[in-house]
Structure 1
């Protein structure tokens, strides 16, 4: 069985991750690419020998398409995902799954009503160091987890996006959110995954410290965020994200009663577990993806394999919803200046 995939969006993440990973999967085929910028859709369609569409609704009418990847602007994720599910397509949606909890719930409802798979592209869960870290934490080797710090920062979307400083990531009316929705959503999801835990409250400070449009006016979303989280099992943690780090940082420290875990703090050993200052276990587990060097994420393989085998996707919509719920609590806290409860 070949799974024919239509891709909505022809931006950078589609070019460096989704299309190459579909092409490398023997069970999948790129059937169509859609983008409102016609030149981009035509360019990618020519490169991958598939149909070009400029209206996603037209693409969804194609009966030959089995699944859809939604990788357009944040504010369109819910609308496009719901339409694709209702058209009988399985959906892999980029993060954040939506820009409001009500839209995210509508996505979950559409998946349930149609019986189609909805997966959210929270790719950090699949990185080998994170998979191993979760295994160790869940084994009890570190004892009760007391606290954590996770950091994700890079020089900014303008160095990554096709449109440079005019990128949609910097515009609130299109992106819906800034660095929280771009980077913090990864880390909020990752910590739930690693700890097998849920958040109970959040406090956050966000600001636009440096980023500006070409004319010098500040961008209309935040470029830095610091969040403090509390979990149901009692852990306290900080989630720090930025678009203003001149060197990319993407690492996590976890502190348990019996030891400390460092993830991606050492370039040679992606995972280190120490139970005393003198002793440690060092794991070589492959490279992590960066904006400079992409490593196969495994997202496409996981999505395609679940469809082919008729099993549940490993990162279903509810997981994206939980990350978004924490994210929205951080925004609420930043606006109110108060700590916000989650899941009540």
Structure 2
């Protein structure tokens, strides 16, 4: 059997003997007993020859891959060494060194091998460094190997101070002007985590600069504005434009979806899903309600997206109704919003979705989904917990739960960042359609309207709203 580690050193040595590019390397190749033994022990299979390391080649992104010409006498020696190896048994560092010192090439032709380039990285900028923006920035900076965070934007002085400590020392250029940031030379993509009210505007501006876009949900609280984002994306099919519904990147939800696709529960018929935040007495969510679009657009939009995933993209609502209360944050009334709400969506074709959203959980984050089918049921996160530790004590058994949504979905956000970078660099399809982001807002907005008005909203079989007859 041919041992690639030995041959890697063999080729490096041969190249050193005859090519100026490899001058001064032959001693290293001839004296690499420890490398040979290590390679043989683990049977490693590095690139042959490892020209990038041997030549100390500095990769140049976006340039044609350079090539180097090696004489075929070395390739012939390679083949001869394989025969030598077979005749002498298992190769050792001594046999390889002996062959290198004594064997002479027998032919002289040319053979061209490409130099391996360093992997290209997606040069991405972060827009917004608030609650979610910080997390996106850190994920692309430290947890996405195929991406490089090169810029960040925020108009907020407090966020800028954070960026100067956490981003700028790593070479990230900081801006207080979004337009200037998206004009940065070499920029390829932007992740948008600013206020919901400017998501769509910033996404469209980025696309007009020929940038890929990962936008936090929702695209907008306005259905028409959401559609403008989709229309702009259709003009530039070469760009990857994705609205980040993080639960689609969660391992547990993906496993549940896979099981439904395999028919494990028969035909999915009922979905019961909730997004419940830990109570925040600071008043943050009261002020946030001024632009969030309401609890169904801001919170249940995740559960609505899951419904479109599990039931199928083409399901059409038949009726929408909702009810809510202000249990712990009465000031939400000035924005026509609620801290607890329940919504029911009946779909054409015999399917129902039940949503519960809350901002008053005392114990922590509790995001749970049940998919009930004709032959079984799947539950995701039915018993929320931060880890696998149960505390047994005189009062019973207790376990900790995540304090906030990021504690539950942190790795989903990391996976989202990595899959987005991969799609941009390798021109792979995105894992979800941009049009689904519009449909999720359409259903969420209908639920919010039903919540505020107290009326049921109906739709025909092609999704057109049916106005109730006036008496």
TM, length-normalised to structure 2: 0.62
Does residue 264 (structure 1) correspond to residue 381 (structure 2)? The answer is yes
* 2:194 corresponds to which of 42, 65, 72: 72
Specify the alignment match of 2:446 in structure 1: 329
How far apart, CA to CA, are the structure 1 residues paired with 2:205 and 2:150? 18
Deviations 1:9-52 (A, max 9, x none): 11122223442244221210111111111341242244223111
How far apart, CA to CA, are the structure 1 residues paired with 2:322 and 2:440? 15
Where in structure 2 are the equivalents of 1:188-267 lying within 5 Å? 188-197=304-313, 198-201=315-318, 202-211=320-329, 220=335, 221-247=337-363, 248-267=365-384
- Larger mean CA deviation between 31-40 and 196-205 belongs to 196-205
3-state DSSP class of the match of 2:411?
coil
Specify the alignment match of 1:295 in structure 2: 410
Distance 1:126 1:97, change over 3 A: same
Specify the alignment match of 1:48 in structure 2: 167
How far apart, CA to CA, are the structure 1 residues paired with 2:162 and 2:361? 32
Show structure 2 runs of 5+ residues with no match: 1-119, 388-401, 465-471
Does residue 152 (structure 1) correspond to residue 275 (structure 2)? The answer is yes
Count of equivalent residues: 318
Q: If each structure's helix is expressed as a fraction of its own residues, which one has the higher value? A: 2
How far apart, CA to CA, are the structure 1 residues paired with 2:165 and 2:150? 12
Specify the alignment match of 1:90 in structure 2: 212
Specify the alignment match of 1:187 in structure 2: 303
Does residue 308 (structure 1) correspond to residue 431 (structure 2)? The answer is no
The answer (yes or no) to whether the contact 1:3–1:67 under 8 Å persists in 2 is: yes
Q: How big is the shift at 1:252?
A: 1.1
Deviations 1:283-312 (A, max 9, x none): xxxx99834465322111111110011122
Distance 1:180 1:18, change over 3 A: farther
Q: How big is the shift at 1:168?
A: 7.6
3-state DSSP class of the match of 1:57?
helix
Using CA pairs under 8 Å that are at least 6 residues apart, name the structure with larger relative contact order, 1 or 2: 1
Specify the alignment match of 1:102 in structure 2: 224
Computed over aligned residues only, the root mean square deviation of the Cα atoms, in angstroms, reads 2.6
Deviations 1:179-223 (A, max 9, x none): 22221011100121123252413222244332266xxx8562332
3-state DSSP class of the match of 1:225?
strand
How far apart, CA to CA, are the structure 1 residues paired with 2:287 and 2:160? 20
How far apart, CA to CA, are the structure 2 residues paired with 1:304 and 1:290? 23
Show structure 1 runs of 5+ residues with no match: 271-286
* 2:157 corresponds to which of 38, 45, 49: 38
Distance 1:35 1:312, change over 3 A: same
Distance 1:119 1:26, change over 3 A: same
